[in-house]
Amino acid sequence: MMEYKGYVAKVEFDDEDDVFHGEVINLRDVITFQGQTVNELRQAFQESVEDYLAFCAERGEQPEKPYSGKFSVRIDPELHRKITIQARMTAKSLNRWISETLEDATAG
């Protein structure tokens, strides 16, 4: 995994072509890059992000931000009831309880 200006990329190695391929994974827009060495890969990643930002500026568009901090989740009503009860039992809002629970789950 690589990160640059808040953009996170997943990298894979293609043994057949002897090249690293990367893709930014925290956007709907597509940003890809490649390199044969780690340094080439890192440079290509940064250049691809900069190209994306420049392209958006040329078009007068705001670049997609990696994350807004909001997301919607559809869950079973019974699970909704259970987590609401858990949140209230700990004197927390549902948002705070879910945020803390997800933080604990990903802290590893």
Position 28 scores a pLDDT of 86
Position 79 scores a pLDDT of 96
Neighbours of 25 (CB within 10 A): 12
- Give yes or no for a contact between 25 and 6, defined as CB atoms under 8 angstroms apart: no
Q: Which CA distances in Å does 98 have to 4, 74, 81, 82, 88?
A: 28, 14, 13, 12, 12
pLDDT in tens, 14-63: 999 999 999 999 988 899 999 999 999 999 999 999 999 999 999 999 99
Q: What are phi and psi of 62, to 5 degrees?
A: -75, 130
DSSP strands (E only) in the chain: 2-4, 7-14, 19-24, 32-35
